[in-house]
Amino acid sequence: MLNIDDPADTDNTPAIWRLGFRPFFLGGAVVAALYIPIWLMGWFTPQYSLFNGEFWANVVPLWWHPHEMLFGFAMAIVCGFLLTAAQAWTNQPTMKGGVLALTFGCWLAARLLFLLPFNIPLWLPALFDSLFLGISAATLWRCIYTAKQWRNIGFPLMLVVALVVNLVTYYALYERNFSLSTQLWQAMIWWLAMVITIVGGRVIPFFTAMKLQHSKPDPIQALEITLLLVMGLLFVQSVFHLFPREIEQGILLSAGILQLVRVSRWKGHKTFQEPMLWSLHVSYWALPATLLAMAWQINNEFAYRTLLHLFAVGGIASLCLSMISRVSLGHTSRNIYQGPNMVLAFIGIPLAAIFRAVMPLWLPQYSSTWLWLAGACWFISFGMFVWHYAPILTKPRLDGRPG
């Protein structure tokens, strides 16, 4: 994603409401930093939890944790990125000012309603979540349709799919159907994997080629199309369980091999001197690693579920952290490669993935220790982003232009 070609006129809008990446990157990072420690305290030390028994009885921690990580944290980053990128792609304004504040307010209201120390009707956070996703999808559709940029039309459609899935997760909570919600969490992980496959396939080799000053490898169209179809099958399989385990294993294996071939062409081994690059590559490598590991452990239900966190933490969260660090600098007219030192943060999330997804399988007797270590790495990493980037995201661009 390139820097937005902002108009040169004066913008009196408060900086935080000038473009989608500002509130959603900051809000998503704050939620990420706080919610994992809150989850761990509520799970392991309920006597010290911020929530009373009624909260946990009505919301259920096993539902709240994955829902808020997917539809709270990750979806905020995805929408913040897309609302910013769409303006660059289409040269059409997305949203700012009051509309952006309203959309962010809907996202925030859904998060805060769950933290109230008394029972709430589930339709209320569901409504705010739907407004957040619906307004974001409609804005993307308008920009892409106006510019007739059909290559990106899939993004608003994917947000509509996410909106529908989210509503079904609320239904699953209402019905206490946690088998259904588990299927949907896994489906949304593959939904995010598809977004990362599309966006990562565009920007990671491009950023790498630009920095290293070499030619960007041309995508192999047959591989790209096949990969998206296979990743889509994983999403469908997670929701509907159409295929037996043997077929699912073949899908996972095929997807893993295709992703491995794809990412190996991006010359990630040449980026180790630049954290803003190697962090992207390390994050993407978590996707083929997870797919192949899950194919290997297809008949071990505990390992299969645990390994999902290898990508959820080491892929989704790690790539989110790397991208929001980069985009926040680029879109505030700062030098991308001379920003705050985030090396510790970029190392922390992959470490959290290992502690969360690998160590409990290797040494399960210390599982609680691994989870706390993973939580500490996670908190430090996203805490560093909030500390370094809150001033950047809440101040105008250095060049004085809007955005």
* CATH superfamily label, 15-393: Cytochrome c oxidase-like, subunit I domain (1.20.210.10)
Q: What's the pLDDT at 6?
A: 43
Lowest mean pLDDT across 5-14, 297-306, 321-330, 383-392: 5-14
- Averaged confidence pLDDT in the chain: 93
The answer to whether residue 51 scores a pLDDT higher than 80 is no
Q: What's the pLDDT at 10?
A: 64
The answer to whether residue 18 scores a pLDDT higher than 50 is yes
Q: What is the pLDDT of residues 217-240, one digit of tens each?
A: 999 999 999 999 999 999 999 999
Phi, psi for 335 (deg, rounded to 5): -70, 120
Placement of tokens 């897309």 in the chain: 82
Determine the average pLDDT of the residues in 307-312. Answer: 98
What distance in Å separates the CA atoms of residue 212 and residue 251, rounded to the nearest whole number?
Answer: 34
Distances (CA, A) of 59 to 106, 331, 384: 19, 38, 30
Q: What's the pLDDT at 52?
A: 62
Q: What's the pLDDT at 187?
A: 97
> Which pair of structure tokens corresponds to residue 75?
């979806």
Q: What is the pLDDT of residues 288-297, one digit of tens each?
A: 999 999 999 9
Determine the average pLDDT of the residues in 29-55. Answer: 84
Phi, psi for 279 (deg, rounded to 5): -65, -35
Kindly list the domain boundaries of the chain, sorted by start residue: 15-393
Distances (CA, A) of 56 to 59, 60, 121, 168: 5, 5, 14, 20
Q: What is the pLDDT of residues 325-362, one digit of tens each?
A: 999 999 999 999 999 999 999 999 999 999 999 999 99
Q: What's the pLDDT at 15?
A: 95
Q: How far apart are the first and last CA of the chain?
A: 15
pTM exceeds 0.85 for this model:
yes
The answer to whether residue 7 scores a pLDDT higher than 50 is no
The amino acid that residue 172 corresponds to is A
In percent, the amount of the chain with pLDDT more than 70 equals: 95
